[in-house]
A and B are shown apart, each in its own frame.
Chain A
Amino acid sequence: MNMHSRPADPKKLIKGATGDWEVVIGMEIHAQVTSNSKLFSGSSTEFGGEPNSHVSLVDAAMPGMLPVINAECVKQAVRTGLGLKAQINNRSVFDRKNYFYPDLPQGYQISQYKSPIVGEGVVLVDTADGQIEVGIERLHLEQDAGKSIHDQHPTLSLVDLNRSGVALMEIVSKPDLRSSEEAKAYVTKLRTILRYLGTCDGDMEKGSLRADVNVSVRKPGDDFGTRCEIKNVNSIRFIGQAIETEARRQIGILEDGGRIDQETRLFDPNRGETRSMRSKEEAHDYRYFPDPDLLPLEFDDAFVAELKAHLPELPDEKKARFVADYGLSAYDADVLVAEKETAAYYEEVAKGRDAKAAANFVINELFGRLNKEGKDIGSSPVSAAQIGAIVDLIADGTISGKIAKDLFEIVFTEGGDPRVLVEERGMRQVTDTGAIEAAVDAIIAANPDKVAQVQAKPTMLGWFVGQVMKQTGGKANPQAVNDLLKGKLGI
């Protein structure tokens, strides 16, 4: 284990009463596989159906029913493994994890224990303090459970099996994360990769992505401390909060001379605390053994090669290309590749245009405005073609950057062709020096005191520029105004 491979970063340490503490985090992400049917049955995986409307005889574990592996789920797991630059195992085994629970119809979950479909890999994560490498331990396929509902009947709990048997990928990281910020950035990046691959929609609200977070603390340089597992955290914000809360709880115990019990805990965002889930009598013994209803899962290299050949460009590669080909900063490239759709949108805007100007407009104007409205790129009222037209109008000097913002606002709220709007609304900037000159002359004539001031202090020029722009309704070409003023004022 690479327990000391990363030297403790002083910026990431947590101050305690007895000195600094380092938090060590590993994650198990449960990602619902994007597929039309379940892992071992033909039932629909659609979200939000009437309770128990997507349940086959197999999902309900009727006597004599048998699982049959869904090939598409296998492909999705392999694609994900390739996206995580991970070892793909051509032979893996499904095991039974045995325990009783009403939302687990078979009395066991079919999972992969000793031989997972995907082995070690790596995810590159950008943080404010630079890039870190997070090791992937493994990825395996398993069945989701159903849902127990406790608030619909005075004495009974009800069970909805719609989710029962839906395919999950459990993606286990190495304990390579050292702060809640890193953990959040890791999940964000993993989510981006999954969404690029189309193997998981990453929708945390619908439960398509859930995290079990393993947290321990230690004094810098020490061996790993005892960890606690915080189960089923379902938003990136909560992941951060849960880690902070749990790290402080552990530090408090250790500094009081206590000992951490290895256990499973739940994060309660309302109270801002983690609570033990342990109930005394249930130290589960899952009695894993290979599922005799299923043969080992085997495929050849050609199967993997075929999937690899059709992988989409992934965020890391796209970012590198944006930096190299478009000359963007790493930061801008990161912002643009966070979603496949925004990257595609940007590339459409940038096509045949100044790529940096396009990036600036997309990031600063469009993203800012979408954020304000709570919209994403898919529901943007402004098309890439419209943004492109605005960028073109700036580039050819038809409008100024300032007017461009007004024009964008009109296009965003009212729609329309920017080129037509510029004409209809008289937004074309004035480049006719005659008209500008008249305005300049009038301002100079009306303000002899300011003229004296600017000649003493040339930075006062800004006041004159402002006055001229005001007089011309903001449409004067700022460069022409500057040149004329400088000439006439002799500065």
Chain B
Amino acid sequence: MTDLTRLSLTAAREGLAEGHFTATELTQAYLGAIETAGALNAYVLATPEKALAMAKASDARYAKGEAGPLDGLPLGVKDNYAVEGVRTTAGSNILKNFVPPYESTVTSRLWGDGAVLLGKLNQDEFAMGSSTESSAFGPTVNPWRRAGSTQPLVPGGSSGGSAAAVAAHLCAGAAGTDTGGSIRQPAAFTGTVGIKPTYGRCSRWGIVAYASSLDQAGPIARSVNDAALLLRSMAGHDPKDSTSVDRAVPDYEAAVGASVKGKRIGIPREYRVDGMSPEIVALWDKGADMLRSAGAEIVDISLPHTKYALPSYYIVALAEASSNLARYDGVRYGERVPGRDIVEMYEKTRASGFGAEVRRRIMIGTYVLSAGYYDAYYLKAQKVRTLIKRDFETVFADGIDAVLAPATPSPAFGIGEKSGADPVAMYLEDVFTVTLNMAGLPGIAVPAGRSAEGLPLGLQLIGRPFGEEALFSLGQVIEEAAGRFEVSDRWWE
């Protein structure tokens, strides 16, 4: 039975369509895998009853020949997606008993196409973090270990539960969200594929907001093709999200395997940051070679404002977060700690409901918007954002089709290694990923090699606005050249 969890989405779909196994059997296989994987702490809530009910309904659809594009495929969903009737916490104590009476647009699209919900996946609290250590449910553990070591490693974050579950075959694919790298960085740390689509491609309605102008939904999957299949279902215009874009969703699967001959790939010199490990430099060069071998042209380019992206990201994102999280006040829903008066109630509720990193980010965000500091911080960061966008517009206007860069500055690190006294050490994890969020561009992380210690390393391709198809084509080239990355030692079972 466990074999079924090894299947790709397309293979599983074929097996279901041809009647080799049922959606119920497939779902049971994953539920069984989840049960043995408590040590990973990837799920904050498994929903076996709902999963089996959805699988049963899927089997009925297959029987009637009415199966949808994802019918019977068991997925995990990051805990910041509202799923109707299923506890949704965004990894926070302040929402620890919150059960939404509504369904996010993206998940309802997934269920509409027949997918099965296995449960909710761990994440950094309110998606604030790069290691999934700030979750109220404790850290998720990366299924990968360094060769010869049993030290637990982080799966990256904030969609660390999603990435770990996909890598460990605890779901066939997962829905994550990416505000500054939260899909791509964990994908790179776990040898999986993650894509953050263009801002506006997926609806944000029903996803617990972190930073509204940066948040995007996207899939994490075990292959480029699987990611393409999932994104096709997740994407689309939603009149309930004013920032979603009314534009037809292409058949992303068709782009997988399409030729990349003649595509011009930019290598931005500003991404060669000081102290970058030789391993990552080598991986980057290898990735360029893979694309060149497939007929793409490799071009050196300049994105001059790159170095300002990270600090401006941490101003814009935290400013928005400080306002977005104001609604968690203990008045209408969520946890409440009583106080002598309303102000004390707010203070106690928010002090106990939010973890340290969330409190830190709310305070920084509040500060940068304050009278007297707004111009120096928020306004300046927005100007930098415009310049970053313009950097990309310039290279795209010069005929560049996509940009190739590392996904992360290093492979997965140990739990506790970067969650110490200096929060900036963790913020630096996002150095290669935040620029896209600032520019609203799509980016895909694809595993491309291994570190000396045997850990997966990822490369990132950055596309034109709504250029996801090119990313899938190019990503497939890297995947074919580098091969799949499977965890060989299922030590947690």
Question: A291 CA to B242 CA in the complex, in Å?
Answer: 11
Q: Which of A57, A108, A295 contacts B242 (CB 8 A)?
A: A295
For the complex, is B320 an interface residue (Cβ under 8 Å from A)?
yes
On whether the beta carbons of B242 and A63 are closer than 8 Å, the reply is no
Given A106-B326, A293-B242, A295-B242, check contact A64 B369 (CB 8 Å): no
B100 interface neighbour in A63, A66, A68, A285, Cβ under 8 Å: A63
Query: Are A66 and B242 interface neighbours, CB within 8 A?
Result: yes
Q: Which residues of chain B have C-beta atoms less than 8 A from A288's C-beta?
A: 369
Q: Which of the four size classes fits the interface of chain A?
A: 20 to 34
Does the CB pair A105–B327 fall under 8 Å?
A: yes
Q: Which residues of A contact B325 (CB under 8 A)?
A: 107
User: Does B332 contact A105, Cβ atoms closer than 8 Å?
Assistant: yes
- Which of A63, A66, A291 is the most central at the interface, judged by chain B CB atoms within 10 Å of its CB? A63
For the complex, what is the distance from the CA of A105 to the CA of B204, rounded to whole Å?
Answer: 19
- Say if the beta carbon of A100 comes within 8 Å of chain B: yes
Using Cβ atoms and an 8 Å threshold, which residues of chain A touch B241?
66, 68
Q: Is A443 an interface residue (CB 8 A)?
A: no
Contacts of B212 in A (CB 8 A): 291-293
Can you list 23 A-B pairs with a CB-CB distance of less than 8 A? Answer: A57-B101, A61-B332, A63-B82, A63-B90, A63-B98, A63-B208, A63-B209, A64-B207, A64-B208, A65-B206, A66-B205, A66-B240, A68-B239, A98-B322, A102-B329, A102-B342, A105-B331, A107-B326, A108-B323, A287-B323, A287-B366, A288-B369, A293-B242
B contact residues around A65 at 8 Å (CB) = 205-206
B366 touches A159 (CB 8 A): no
Asked whether A329 is an interface residue with its Cβ less than 8 Å from the other chain, the reply is no
Q: Which residues of A contact B101 (CB under 8 A)?
A: 57
* Residues 88-122 of B at the A interface (beta carbon under 8 Å): 88, 90, 95, 98, 100-102, 104
**A62 CB to nearest B CB, Å:** 7
Residues of B within 8 A of A377 (CB): none
A64 touches B329 (CB 8 A): no
Whether A265 sits at the interface, judged by CB under 8 Å, is: no
- Indicate if the CB atoms of A63 and B88 lie closer than 8 Å: yes
CB <8 Å contact, A96 and B242: no
Residue in A closest to B347 when the chains form the complex, CB atoms: A100
Please indicate the chain B residues that have their CB under 8 angstroms from the CB of A444 in the complex: none
Tell whether, in the assembled complex, residue A292 and residue B102 are in contact, meaning their CB atoms are under 8 Å apart.
no
Closest Cβ of chain B to A288, distance in Å, is: 8
Which residues in B have their C-beta under 8 angstroms from that of A108?
Answer: 323, 326
Q: Name the residue on A nearest B342 (C-beta).
A: A102
Contact pattern, B 226-262, Cβ under 8 Å of A = 1, otherwise 0: 0000000000000111110000000000000000000
Interface residues of B (CB under 8 A from A): 80, 82, 88, 90, 95, 98, 100-102, 104, 204-209, 211-213, 239-243, 319-320, 322-323, 325-327, 329, 331-333, 342, 346, 366, 369-371, 374, 378
Contact call A293/B331, Cβ cutoff below 8 A: no
Contact present for B323 and A98 (CB under 8 Å): yes
A289 touching B374, Cβ below 8 Å: yes
- List B contacts of A62 (CB < 8 A): 82, 100, 102, 333
CA distance A471 to B278 in the complex (A): 124
Bound form: Cα–Cα A108–B371 in Å: 16
Whether A57 contacts B240 in the complex (CB less than 8 A), given A100-B326, A157-B342, comes out as: no
Q: Does A67 contact B (CB under 8 A)?
A: yes
B319 touching A289, Cβ below 8 Å: yes
Minimal beta-carbon separation of B366 from chain A (angstroms): 7
* B206 close to A159 (CB less than 8 A): no
Q: Determine the distance from Cα of A118 to Cα of B206 in the docked complex, in whole angstroms.
A: 33
A69 engages B323 (CB within 8 Å) = no
For A61, list chain B residues within 8 Å (CB): 327, 332
Residues of A within 8 A of B323 (CB): 96, 98, 107-108, 287, 289
Closest 3 A/B residue pairs (Cβ): A107-B326, A292-B213, A292-B212
Q: How far is the CB of B383 from chain A (nearest CB, A)?
A: 13
A→B interface (CB under 8 Å): 57, 60-69, 96, 98, 100, 102, 105-108, 157, 159, 285, 287-289, 291-295
Determine whether the beta carbon of A106 is less than 8 Å from that of B327.
Answer: yes
Which of A66, A107, A293: most chain B Cβ within 10 A? A66
Contact A98 B326 (CB under 8 A): yes
In the bound assembly, the distance between CA atoms of A294 and B331 in angstroms comes to 25
The docked-state distance in angstroms from the alpha carbon of A276 to that of B342 is 21
Given A98-B326, A107-B326, the answer on whether A64 and B331 have CB atoms closer than 8 Å is no
User: How far does the alpha carbon of A64 sit from the alpha carbon of B324 in the complex, in Å?
Assistant: 9
Cβ–Cβ contact A159 & B331, under 8 A: yes
B205, A64: Cβ atoms closer than 8 Å: yes
Tell me, in angstroms, the Cα distance from A319 to B264 when the chains sit together.
Answer: 70
Q: Nearest-CB distance from A103 to chain B (Å)?
A: 9
- A159 CA to B330 CA in the complex, in Å? 13
Q: How far is the CA of A122 from the CA of B148 in the complex (A)?
A: 80
| A60/B213 in contact, CB under 8 A | no
Residue of A nearest to B94 (CB): A63
Select from chain B the residue with minimum beta-carbon distance to A98: B323
Closest to B325 in A: A107
The distance from the CB of A60 to the nearest CB of chain B, in whole angstroms, is 6
Task: Name the residue on A nearest B378 (C-beta).
Answer: A289
Give A97's nearest chain B residue, CB to CB: B323
**Which of A63, A66, A106 makes the CB contact (< 8 A) with B95?**
A63
A453-B390 Cα distance, complex, nearest whole Å: 105
- Chain B residues lying within 8 Å of A107, measured Cβ to Cβ, are 323, 325-327, 329
Chain B residues lying within 8 Å of A293, measured Cβ to Cβ, are 209, 212, 242-243
* Contact A64–B82 (Cβ < 8 Å): yes
Looking at the assembled complex, report how far the CB atom of B103 sits from the nearest CB atom of chain A, in whole angstroms: 10
| Residue of B with least CB distance to A58 | B240
Extra contacts besides A62-B333, A288-B369, A294-B242 (9): CB < 8 Å: A57-B101, A62-B82, A64-B206, A66-B242, A102-B329, A105-B327, A287-B322, A293-B212, A295-B242
